[in-house]
Amino acid sequence: MPATVLDGIKIANDIRSELAAEVKIMAAAGVRPGLAVVLVGHNPASEIYVRGKVKACQEVGLYSEQHTPPETSTTAELVALIEDLNRREEIDGILVQLPLPPQVDSKKVLLAVDPAKDVDGFHPMNVGLLSTQRTGLVPCTPAGIMEILRRSHIPVAGQEAVVVGRSDIVGKPAGMLLLNASATVTICHSKTRDLPAVCRRADILVAAIGRAGMVTRDFVKPGATVIDVGMNKVTDPAEFERLFGGPPQHSKRVEIFRAKGATLIGDVHPEVAEVAGALTPVPGGVGPLTIAMLMYNTVKAARKCRGIRVPALAK
């Protein structure tokens, strides 16, 4: 029996609807949460991401503004911009779109963001709050993973969870959130011995490696929940054949690949659907939750910064 597909688009839409209702309540009190996005230069992929974030702000009812300093900006110039945004009361969240140009000290720029406005959840103060189970702003993709599990009624407490990938953005905070929810957590990486055997212990397997289709059926315990965080572009016909050349259910994807010469796939091989109990698709799984949780963090920051007592609807 094929795995249950965990529909990230529906869950993200539910969260956005709840946030829109909360923003209306805040507006009645004279407050409109505000998000400032800083996009340096002209990185086409970053521009697409930012457009999606600005559109989401409009749908939820948030105020948003975009700052586009030139590619030649210095670290000092960007820090000055961040400090100005920190001072502005109508800005509740600040997002610095990565990557920054090579001449810029990215860590210094990110550290300049007020932790109370750090809607990406990257500031060391928010990392510390997460690790000590205190209230702070949590990185959006890991927070989205937890929403998928919670809203899909997948138990976490007492379960064995394995996270493949130890990045500061996804792997580490995802492991911390699962641990805080009383799962038994193992975080794997490139030096992990017998990775498939470790992954097969998991009741909940989170794949965040950045390698197309690396997690095959040999990694998955029958009936496990598999969360695929990867987003990889496949253009090589031989690689496409390895991933999608078998079952007829991929015929539509084959047609699209032949027409466009490319397709998106996560870190999980399509064959895992035959083994797992539940699985997030790519696209349409974790991705939509990342932007939804950015909206959530902006509303949460506004609620705290402006002292508004409105029950959090998204969690």
pLDDT at 48 (0 to 100): 85
pLDDT exceeds cutoff 80 at 217: yes
pLDDT at 313 (0 to 100): 45
Residue with tokens 């990565």: 98
Ordered domains of the chain (ranges, CATH) = 26-119+287-315 (3.40.50.10860), 140-231+266-282 (3.40.50.720)
pLDDT at 248 (0 to 100): 62
How many angstroms separate the CA atoms of 136 and 268, rounded?
A: 31
289-314 pLDDT tens trace: 999 999 999 999 999 888 766 555 44
Instruction: List residues with catalytic annotation.
Output: 53, 97, 120
pLDDT at 241 (0 to 100): 86
How many angstroms separate the CA atoms of 121 and 289, rounded?
A: 15
In the chain, what percentage of residues exceed pLDDT 70?
96
pLDDT exceeds cutoff 90 at 94: yes
Whether the full predicted model's pTM is greater than 0.75, yes or no, is yes
138-193 pLDDT tens trace: 999 999 999 999 999 999 999 999 999 999 999 999 999 999 999 999 999 999 99
Instruction: Name which residue leads in pLDDT, 13 or 241.
Output: 13
Residue 215 DSSP code: B
Strand pairing of 184-188 and 204-207? Answer: unpaired
